[in-house]
Amino acid sequence: MNPDWTPICLVSRKDMPSFAADAVKGYKLVSFDTAKNKLNFANCADGQEELDCDIVFRDAVARCHSTARGQAEQGRLAQLWMERFGAEPPPLFDLNDTTNGAGLAPHLVPLFGQLWRESQARSTELMRELALLRGSFDQSQTAFSRLETFLHNSGGAERAQTVSLRPFPGHLPVLLTKDCPLEQRLPIESTGLSDLSFLIAEAPTGSGTLTAKLSLLESAQVVAEWAIPTENLSKGWVRLSLFRALGPDAQTPILHLDWTGSQPLKLAPSFRHPDIRFCATGSNAVLALSLWSYICGAAAPLPADGVVQLLGPQTLRWTIGPEALCNAVDLNVAKDLVEFTQWRGSLAVRPVNQTVSFVRIDNVGRPRLAHLHGGVKTEAVLGPDVEYCYGLAPQHKRSKQRGTLPKFLDGMTSDWLRLPPNEWAILHLFLAEPLKEVCDLYLMSRLVNDEVPEHPINACFYSLQGQAESGAS
């Protein structure tokens, strides 16, 4: 910013006061003439250096004359000024034949005072408007935050899958090699984008780190980054999650992938696309992708299978929703004990006796998980009481035999919650210590006594929420 602006006072060249050459602090005296009906300005102090008309217009705050001839010239100036700029010229002062700078000061001081008062009023008005905007902003933020909490608590906080580009078997994989980063334009606008996943066609060998960045094409902003070491990469989908869905400013999201491993990382392609803008770098195919969205700018609990972005908030929430429930692994010996119901969004794990019926949901127990809770209910009007339980166990404890539960460590199971039919309850699992490694979740049910039910009992597990700290936001 330039602080050197100086206000200008205009005086006719024919009416140059004797003090014109004096360097008067605080303002600049500029002479003008109207010869040939054109405005010409010159700086009195600098030996009549010619000045740009538009600069004079910008900076002129006053005019003065000390003779009748000067007054007439000022009239001429006013006319030309209006023709040239479409505006009235600055106010005019009569110096009454004054021959020194003191004659001008009495006019300028009230003028500057007036300008100062106007400026102060404007500044005050602007400050008041800023305050109003701040209040409005605070209100919006608070309301938004309450909306987020409401959605979290009422189960509406799941990220919705919006795009699914399936892999095309038989197509050659897209190779991500060291020092050859890959870009993939995502086929949606950025508003509300919360997760994206791509498919690793083959588990990587050797060591390396996969770095992913999400940027916005139009603003060239990087909005999220992830880093995944080889040991956390396997054949299958890799889901990258943002804490907060992208905001309402619609731009084109671009996924950037970088790999440091010595062997290429093979990514599964979807269809080939004729427009190279939409193809993965160096390929004629679009990567197999899935994309999720949520409310613009809002934070939804993270999906249990999502890799969390770097540099995010310290408190974490996850949701284990219908998507995860429907992929639960049925490990029971008997058949037809497990059924996912889309319209209810619940997973029925049917107990037949006091022996535990159970399913396993792989890898949804994320590191730092401290508390798990979710809805349970026996969907029947009449019938026996059912007990419900959660359990967490690391991947290496997966049993190879059907019907066999892993040995749960202390504190890694909830209490058995007994429920009569048709009664809703929230089942909690509070972990003594947050998880240090990825674990599988077991959903278990059993009958209280050994009576054989007449009909299959739909002991239903609903979506679960996980938190990193107990009582986290």
Partner 1 sequence: MKDTLQIHDQPLVAVVVPIFRHSVLLVDAIESVLAQVAPFGIKIVLVNDGCPQTETDVVCRHFARTHAPQITYLRKPNGGLSDARNHGVRHILAHLASVRAIYFLDADNGLRPPALARAFAVLETSADVGWVYPNIDMFGLNSAHDYGGKYSRLLHSEMNLCEAGSLIRREVFEAGVMFDTQFQSGFEDWEFFLSAASAGFSGQNLETFGFLYRKRPESMLAESERDAAGITFQLRKKHKALMSPRALISLEQQEMPRLAIVLSDLQQVILTTDPAQSSETISVEDYIHRYFLAKSNPAREVIPPYLCVTSSASFQALTATGLLHATFWMLESLADKTNFGAVTAFGLDEDRMGFAVHDTAQGRHKNVSFLMIGPYLLRDVIFDSASSWIDSLATETSQPSMALIELRLPQSSFDIAPLAKGTAIIDFLAILHRLRASIWIEGAKQRMDWREGDVTRREGSHLILRRHFADEPVYPRMPSGGRNIGLILPLVEFGGVEKVALNFARAIRARGDLPHLFVLNSGDAAISSDWRQVLESITFFTDASFGAWGGGTKTYFGTEIPHWAEQGNHDRAVAMMHWLDAVIDFHGGAMMGAMGKLKRLGIATGSSLHLVDLTAVGRPVGNVFLCMAYEHAFNVVAPCSLALADWCHALGIPKEKIVPTPNAPSFPISAQRLAAGLAQKGQRLPDEPLRVLYLGRLDAQKGLNRMTEVMQAAAADKLEWRIIGRPVLPDALANLSPDIQRVLEPALTRDEDLMAAFDWADVLVLLSEFEGLPLTILEAMRQGVVPIVTDVGAVGEVVINGQNGFLIPLLNAVAECLTSLRTLATNRDLLSRLSSAAARDMVGRDWIHATKPFLDALSGR
State the pairing for strand pair 357-365/329-330: antiparallel
Stretch binding partner 1 (CB under 8 A), from 80-88, 131-139, 226-234, 335-343: 80-88
What's the distance, CA 371 to chain centroid?
26
**Rg for the chain (alpha carbons), in Å?**
37
> What minimum distance in Å lies between the beta carbon of 197 and partner 1?
18
Helix (H) or strand (E) holding 54: helix 53-59
Which has the closest alpha carbon to 193: 292, 95, 102, 110? 292
Beta bridge partners of 293: 160, 193
Q: How many CA atoms lie within 13 A of 5 on its CB side?
A: 11
In this structure, the dihedral spanned by the alpha carbons of residues 162, 367, 404 and 427, taken in order and rounded to 10 degrees, is -70
Helix (H) or strand (E) holding 109: helix 105-153
Residue matched to tokens 């700029």: 85
Stretch binding partner 1 (CB under 8 A), from 3-11, 92-100, 298-306, 350-358: 3-11
When binding is defined by CB under 8 A, the residue of 144, 237, 243, 278 that contacts partner 1 is: 278
Structure tokens at 254: 């671009």
When binding is defined by CB under 8 A, the residue of 49, 218, 437, 450 that contacts partner 1 is: 218
Q: Within 232-271, which residues bind partner 1 (CB under 8 A)?
A: 248, 250, 252, 271
Binding status of residue 122 toward partner 1 by CB under 8 A: yes
Nearer Cβ to partner 1, position 140 or 142? 140
Check if the beta carbon of residue 39 is closer than 8 Å to that of residue 53: yes
Binding status of residue 85 toward partner 1 by CB under 8 A: yes
Binding status of residue 297 toward partner 1 by CB under 8 A: no
Q: Within 123-182, which residues bind partner 1 (CB under 8 A)?
A: 165, 168
> What minimum distance in Å lies between the beta carbon of 185 and partner 1?
8
Q: Which residues contact 122 (CB under 8 A, 6 or more apart)?
A: none
Nearer Cβ to partner 1, position 275 or 336? 275
When binding is defined by CB under 8 A, the residue of 14, 76, 84, 256 that contacts partner 1 is: 84
Interface mask (CB under 8 A) for partner 1, residues 13-52, using x and -?
Answer: ---------------------------------------x
In this structure, the dihedral spanned by the alpha carbons of residues 202, 203, 204 and 206, taken in order and rounded to 10 degrees, is -140
DSSP state of 31: E
Binding status of residue 286 toward partner 1 by CB under 8 A: yes
- Runs of H (alpha helix) within 283-369: 322-325
- Amino acid identity of 439? C
Binding status of residue 272 toward partner 1 by CB under 8 A: yes
In sequence order, what DSSP letters do the residues of 372-409 get, joined into one string? EEEEEEE--SS---EEEEEEEEEGGG--SSTT----PP
Stretch binding partner 1 (CB under 8 A), from 144-152, 211-219, 367-375, 444-452: 211-219
> What minimum distance in Å lies between the beta carbon of 190 and partner 1?
8
Binding status of residue 59 toward partner 1 by CB under 8 A: yes
> What minimum distance in Å lies between the beta carbon of 275 and partner 1?
6
Nearer Cβ to partner 1, position 169 or 471? 169
> What minimum distance in Å lies between the beta carbon of 188 and partner 1?
6
Residues that bind partner 1 (CB under 8 A): 1-5, 52, 54, 57-59, 82-87, 122, 165, 168, 185, 187-189, 217-220, 248, 250, 252, 271-275, 278, 284, 286
